[in-house]
């Protein structure tokens, strides 16, 4: 019964992601899909009636063990703004596909993954007593390798709070340790019940919290064109006015943003932001405006900028924060001044 519950829970999560309406990253969808498929395999294994059915179900269940660790690693890299080249991602994922192809040989004359499997029925359902082949060692090394790599990346960025929130990185460290820890407990205690579906269901539930949050507060999810994103500065805040991120143009206009910690309150003093934009933002929030407003132009040295403050909304149109859009209008104002002369 627990396997069916895990399958249904992750299936609901997957449907939520598909219908979410925002770009949350391909690896998040792949991860959730692999866990949903794997959980379905575990349920089929527990309810199978003979060895052939159990082996087929076990092949499906291994989708979790083969593809979840690598996608968790890719998700951690994405969280920490590490960009892996398409070539590296393709090679790594291709290796996992080869491992899964070896998984598919179980029950055949080939003994790459399982040398032998014996069908058993217990109080918690069907389970297999296995004798492992050489590719299972490769599978295990890959699982441990991606977990270790994820931990290394997480620990390296744990105090880089201007890049990634400490809360988010702590959650990913917990997920990484939980996933491999549960697997090792199963192996060491020789349990006849599979705990992987439970641990990965819990893991994806925890991971979706920071990943969905990143999607909501991503500048790339604001309805603007790519060329405008390069020319216009955007700064995002939560409903509690915690700093949630900005684009490169914003850091160019407001260099202090590079030192602001994510998901923390706006620093109290100093910097161009506090000089020109903090008071208008506070007034916008205090007045409870539902429509965007255009502020008065401000000048910094030879640069003249205008700004727009508005509400950041989820796909459901619910208010989840605020944005400030800053545009450099120096050339426009200078041209108008020349034309008037």
State which residues form the domain around 319: 223-340
Is 235 in the same domain as 197?
Answer: no
Domain co-membership, 121 together with 138: yes
Residues 198, 146, single domain; the answer is: yes
Residue that is last in its domain, among 216, 240, 255: 216
pTM over cut 0.85:
no
Three-state DSSP state, 56: helix
Query: How far apart are the C-alpha atoms of 231 and 20, rounded to whole Å?
Result: 28
Q: Which of 5-14, 19-28, 203-212, 237-246 bottoms out in mean pLDDT, i.e. has the lowest?
A: 19-28
User: Does the pLDDT of residue 264 top 50, yes or no?
Assistant: yes
Q: What percent of the chain has pLDDT over 70?
A: 90
Higher-pLDDT residue of 229 and 205 is: 205
pLDDT band at 220 (very low <50, low <70, confident <90, very high): low
pLDDT number for residue 225: 44
Q: Which of 183, 216, 249 is the last residue of a domain?
A: 216
Per-residue pLDDT, averaged over 143-172, amounts to: 85
Pair 127, 44: CB distance under 8 Å: no
How many domains, in total, are found in the chain? 2
Q: Which long-range contacts (CB under 8 A, 24 or more apart) does 189-194 make?
A: 192/120, 192/122, 192/124, 192/127, 193/122, 193/124, 193/125, 193/127, 194/3, 194/42, 194/45, 194/61, 194/127
My answer on whether 208 and 236 are in the same domain is: no
Nearest to 176 by CA among 32, 69, 79: 69
pLDDT band at 197; cut points 50, 70, 90: confident
List, in order, residues 6 or more apart from 8 with CB less than 8 Å away. none
Strands (E), 76-232: 114-122, 125-132
CB contact set of 244 (below 8 Å; sequence gap of 6+) = 217, 236, 237, 238, 262, 263, 321
């Amino acid at each position: 019964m627990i396997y069916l519950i895990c399958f249904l829970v992750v299936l609901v999560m997957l449907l939520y992601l598909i219908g979410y309406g925002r770009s949350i990253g391909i690896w998040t969808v792949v991860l959730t899909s692999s866990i949903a498929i794997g959980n379905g395999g575990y349920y089929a294994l527990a309810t199978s009636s003979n060895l052939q059915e159990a082996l087929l179900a076990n092949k499906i269940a291994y989708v979790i063990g083969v593809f979840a660790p690598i996608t968790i690693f890719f998700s951690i890299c994405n969280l920490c703004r590490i960009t892996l080249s398409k070539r590296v991602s393709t090679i790594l994922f291709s290796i996992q596909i080869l491992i899964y192809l070896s998984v598919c040989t179980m029950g055949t004359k080939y003994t790459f993954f399982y040398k032998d499997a014996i069908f058993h029925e217990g109080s918690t359902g069907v389970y297999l007593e296995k004798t492992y082949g050489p590719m299972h060692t490769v599978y295990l090394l890959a699982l441990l390798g991606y977990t270790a790599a994820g931990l290394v990346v997480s620990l390296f960025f744990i105090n880089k709070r201007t890049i990634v929130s400490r809360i988010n990185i702590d959650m990913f460290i917990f997920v990484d340790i939980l996933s491999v820890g549960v697997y090792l407990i199963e192996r060491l205690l020789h349990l006849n019940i599979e705990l992987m579906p439970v641990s990965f269901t819990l893991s994806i539930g925890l991971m979706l919290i920071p990943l969905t949050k990143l999607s909501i507060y991503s500048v790339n999810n604001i309805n603007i064109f790519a060329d405008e994103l390069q020319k216009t500065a955007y700064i995002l805040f939560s409903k509690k006015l915690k700093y949630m991120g900005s684009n490169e143009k914003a850091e160019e206009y407001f260099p202090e943003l590079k030192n602001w910690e994510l998901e923390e309150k706006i620093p109290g003093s100093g910097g161009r932001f506090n000089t020109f934009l903090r008071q208008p933002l506070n007034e916008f929030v205090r007045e409870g405006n539902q429509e965007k407003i255009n502020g008065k132009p401000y000048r910094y040295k030879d640069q003249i900028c205008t700004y727009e403050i508005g509400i950041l909304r989820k796909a459901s149109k619910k208010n989840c924060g605020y944005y400030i859009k800053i545009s450099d209008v120096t050339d426009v104002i200078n041209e108008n001044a020349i034309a008037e002369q």
